[in-house]
Amino acid sequence: MCSWCQHWGKALAFASAILLFFANTAGAVPSGGYASWTEVPWIKPADASQDDGLPESPETTLSDPVYFNLSGNEPESIRLGDRKINYSDYACGTAGAPLFSEIWISKDSVWSRYGEVTAGEAVDLIIRTARESSGDIYLVSYAKNTTIHWNFKFLAGCYRLRLQPEESGRLFMLLSQETEPGNALILDVLPRQSEKSFSPLDVNSIAIGEAFITIRSQRLRGYDVFVNGVFFCNDNSDGSLDGVASLTIGGGKTHTITISQRDGRGGIINKSEHTRSFARDTHYTLQMD
């Protein structure tokens, strides 16, 4: 081989090595920090004192859904407003399966979309889903102008849940699967009575548990927190833009926590996702640096 060809070959090899070096270097640029999890046992405050010295009001809770076979467990009738129809007639009209997700109040073998209870009294709910996907349940308080959100993973079929509303007033309950809304419920909650309310369903048969998450960052400010793709809070929810956000989620499940920061024009400049299982009664801290 001529000397010119040898020099040309070495030059090409050197240039390729330089290009490969810069390519690897560009791909190795860090995303801006690291994230680490810590966890400690956590007991949800039940009788925390408020500023006025009175016990804090109990919070409304919703149990995890429990799957059941509708065959052999059908209600006797369906109540829609002032109309009460046999369930068999309703099932024939819907071909036996819902076209979209449905949520019902179940009481005395009657499914309805309106109920009246006393604060602290358990409400038995039925959810019917047309397909497998995640579902969002929203509880909107007309009196307090607040919204509570839950997210569950559903298979196609029927589920039992238990709602225990603690605040009085009119509540609206909405159900949706992905981008398709289902129906809504209206629940009028009367002020709590001195007598303790009982329900025929064994509360111990449905497990309720939560996990508490604190997110801390010295570097990020003004970020949003999403759980399974649904917005939950940001680090300014408490009125202080301090890089700290806190939220409560369902325990005993796997969730994806997304941290997203935008610039002044709405573009995302920092985003990270963290998928893991969260045990019940545990306080998790996600340190972002």
Cβ distance 139 to 171 under 8 Å?
yes
Rounded CA-CA distance 189/203 in Å is 20
Mean pLDDT of all residues in the chain?
78
Would you say residue 52 has pLDDT above 80?
no
Ranked by mean pLDDT, the top range of 15-24, 32-41, 155-164, 176-185 is 155-164
Would you say residue 213 has pLDDT above 80?
yes
Rounded CA-CA distance 47/92 in Å is 49
Q: Which value, to the nearest 10 degrees, does the dihedral of the CA atoms of residues 105, 121, 173, 132 take?
A: -60
* Tens of pLDDT, residues 81-140: 888 899 888 877 654 556 678 999 999 999 999 999 988 899 999 999 888 888 999 999
167 to each of 61, 146, 187, 288, how far by Cα in Å?
11, 11, 11, 36
Residue 107: the pLDDT is: 92
Would you say residue 17 has pLDDT above 80?
no
Residue 106: the pLDDT is: 94
pTM of the model: 0.51
238 or 39: whose pLDDT is higher?
39
- Look up the CATH number of domain 65-191: 2.60.40.1930
Residue 31: the pLDDT is: 45
Would you say residue 231 has pLDDT above 80?
no
Interval 217-242 mean pLDDT: 82
Rounded CA-CA distance 189/249 in Å is 25
Q: Where are the domains of the chain?
A: 35-52+208-288, 65-191
Q: Which residues pair with 224 in a beta bridge?
A: 234, 260
Fold of 35-52+208-288: Immunoglobulin-like (2.60.40)
Would you say residue 204 has pLDDT above 90?
no
* Tens of pLDDT, residues 83-98: 889 988 887 765 455 6
